[in-house]
Amino acid sequence: MKFKSLLVKVLMALALVAPVAASAQALAAQAATVKAVNKQVVVNYVSGYSVKAWKNYKVKLGAANDTGISFKHGTTLTVVGEVKYKKRTWYKIADNEWILSSYTLSNKAWAKKAAAAKKAAAKVAKKAAAAKRVSKSKQTNQNKVVALAKAQVGKPYVWGATGPYSFDCSGLTSYIYSRALGKYITRTTYTQVHQGKTVAVSTATLKKGDLLFWGSKSSPYHVGVYVGGGKFVHAATPSQGVIKQSLSYYFWPSTAKRLI
């Protein structure tokens, strides 16, 4: 009796499971049904690269399933069929020619993406143009300072003089910036050293127009103007006057300031 009772229970359970299994199979078959469509999509991959078309969406992707056909990023395709298989949507382009929908965009979405890319490119171009204008303006100002500095070479050194016929060291630098750029940078080395941005004293780092200081970084005793090529102009001493001189490790500046 026990065996018969157990057998009955097993048969009843199978009877309940069978319709469920059949229903699941039917749903799977239904899910894999290709739906006829007629729409356009745009290949959305990586610029300069292509998306492959496959012979069959059910077969494992690989050489055996490769059609040898590929579509470049940005190509518009007409979709004639659509199917969802194993949680991925496939588009039929032609007989035995399928691509994954995840590599496409609708025309509307593509247009939106293209507009956003164009706007971003325009913003970058505008920023680059602005930077170029600033750079050109800086270069122009640097050249003005250098030209005026070189024009003072040969004039005498006089303590306390601020030009235009004679100078002391800080009088020369204040005169150059005032006349070349209309910029007041104060009168003495002690105050000029606190102007602008500190830069490394190196021929690889220095730019034309930078002020070079000697002595204490907070209260230097001497200042000159860097004119490029490892050279600077300064009102040196009463016996030398205003001269152009090469940077030397025996007389190396302690700090430098950029005002342009």
Catalytic residue among 155, 222, 257, 258: 222
Catalytic residue among 155, 208, 234, 257: 234
Q: Does 234 qualify as catalytic in the annotation?
A: yes
Cβ pair 35, 81 in contact under 8 A: yes
d(CA 104, CA 99): 9
Angle at 12 between CA 8 and CA 16, to 5 degrees: 170
What CA–CA distances, in Å, run from 103 to 53, 64, 195? 11, 21, 57
Residue 186 CB-density burial (10 A; 0-12 exposed, 13-18 middle, 19+ buried)? middle
Catalytic residue among 43, 169, 176, 227: 169
Cβ pair 254, 220 in contact under 8 A: yes
Whether the bond between 164 and the residue before it is cis, its omega within 30 degrees of 0, is yes
Q: Which residues are catalytic?
A: 169, 222, 234
